[in-house]
Chains A and B, each alone.
Chain A
């Protein structure tokens, strides 16, 4: 294993110490329990928006803390859910008297830890609403799985709901908006190369020179299908067709599109995929209203990409355009 770390067990804390120093105009990092919080929290009268999950997905979630997006983020160990004490402390720290929205990705660990934390906060009189993101179309949604994983739509939901909270949406309205975003967002990802969890020291799976993995998640877990390597055009087709068919997206829809790198993919390749995606969507009469191309929800150094499409209405697009000032997304300020 070759990594720019000091020691595997220190990687998460060392990285957050750097985040705090680099972005001291936006956020602070509390070490015990561990959470990232915007500098001016709690904002009185504003509903708080927090998220969290395993580390290794940077800039998500700590990099999305700041005005116009998350009030706080709870980082777990690499690919491991944060613990209830972290989530409870973060929730109490951002509660400005209007309650707190938890945006939770659908993983058994995240669900259970956020659930325990919400129970603890409610016992202290803080109103908590939770919305679960489950947008990965690679997972069949049935009684026979833990449900779909939460992936790319999380980033879009955090941006849109953060803006809405800034506009002083109350908690029920914020929760309803977040559910609408989640219901209209779909994603799918693929990998060309696996990643190595620092504490494990070995790649999470093996891929041959001529193989790629379709339908991967964001935790280095293998996907549903191993196939021979294809061109960017074919990959964009496979991913976008699965995403489009699922909602389904229709001619005339407007979308916020994200072509996301998994951490080890050159931006050059992501733009190639975006070009293919834009061409495909144009052919289907679907308009890209807004877009992100880059590394937004990663899986350490995994090579590959994911495509997220969100069927957006005027309200979502307007909220998308609102100012945001975080390490990972910054515009309009």
Chain B
């Protein structure tokens, strides 16, 4: 079981749908502790990704992710643009020239992407950011892989860990991003970045399991 270019394009297509559907939800989360634009920005970015892929999707996995990165960096703005852009830049590098991803390749992609987000944002788990969903997701995927888990088990473990990580941001006090300006008032709210990160991982699981089942 492997993830090929068609599966990657299906993931991107579903991300466009997922962020459009969750646009108001993410923006609502962001209005509680941020500046009420996260859903709007993610929707704009992945609409542009869809337009770019519909117009001219590059032939290989690496170039597809490279294009996604460039489009997100250009269209999303805010902190999410450079952060998700860096995720896909590193994903592109992790794919290299591979025509398709083995389970190990999928795990390597997520680990590289998450490490990129950590470096660009200079944040750590516990800061109430995207990383609270992404770091546990990548770790859970690695653990399943090391235990000879199937692609299905890897993706499901990643999505479950991302969801738990997202929920773990609720009692946290933010230390990065605009939510940190609220101090203790950021406690009790789910982080919008961790939420959009969970959607990203969950959509990969849904798109790729649908394909490989």
Contacts and interface: CB of A to CB of B under 8 A. Distances in A.
Interface string B138-170: 000000000000000000000000000000000
Given A79-B37, A84-B82, A200-B37, A224 B77 contact: no
A202 B32 CA distance: 12
A143 B175 contact: yes
A200 B41 CA distance: 11
Interface string B27-45: 1000101111100110010
A24 to B, nearest CB: 27
A331 interface: no
Contact of B81 (A83, A202, A221): A83
Contacts of A79: 35-37
A139 B181 contact: yes
B14 interface: no
Interface string A159-178: 00000000000000000000
A140 interface: yes
B34 A81 contact: no
Contacts of B17: none
A77 B37 contact: yes
A144 B128 CA distance: 11
A53 B97 CA distance: 37
Contacts of B82: 84, 109, 112-113, 115-116
A66 interface: no
B185 A81 contact: no
A163 B54 CA distance: 48
A108 B77 CA distance: 11
B5 interface: no
A301 to B, nearest CB: 14
B41 A80 contact: yes
A221 B182 contact: yes
Contact of A199 (B33, B37, B121, B185): B37
Given A112-B121, A219-B178, A81 B79 contact: yes
B75 A145 contact: no
A200 B178 contact: no
A112 B79 contact: yes
Interface in A61-95: 76-85
A261 interface: no
A199 B44 CA distance: 11
A205 interface: yes
A311 interface: no
B78 interface: yes
A81 B178 contact: no
A219 B175 CA distance: 18
A48 interface: no
Nearest to A148: B181
Contacts of A152: none
B73 interface: yes
Interface in B15-71: 27, 31, 33-37, 40-41, 44
A81 B31 contact: no
Given A81-B79, A113-B77, A108 B177 contact: yes
A184 interface: no
A108 B183 contact: no
Nearest to A77: B77
A146 B75 contact: no
Contact of B78 (A80, A149, A199): A80
Contacts of B33: 221
A200 B36 contact: yes
Interface in A173-227: 197, 199-200, 202, 204-205, 217, 219-222, 224
Nearest to A219: B35
A204 B14 CA distance: 29
A107 interface: yes
A314 B192 CA distance: 46
A108 B36 contact: no
Contacts of A85: 73-74
A108 B182 CA distance: 15
Given A108-B178, A144-B173, A149-B181, A80 B31 contact: no
Top-8 shortest CB links A-B: A109-B79, A112-B82, A109-B78, A145-B180, A219-B35, A80-B77, A108-B79, A80-B78
Given A84-B73, A145-B175, 12 more contacts: A83-B73, A84-B74, A107-B178, A112-B82, A144-B173, A146-B180, A200-B31, A200-B36, A200-B40, A202-B31, A202-B36, A221-B34
Interface of B: 27, 31, 33-37, 40-41, 44, 73-83, 120-121, 173-178, 180-183, 185
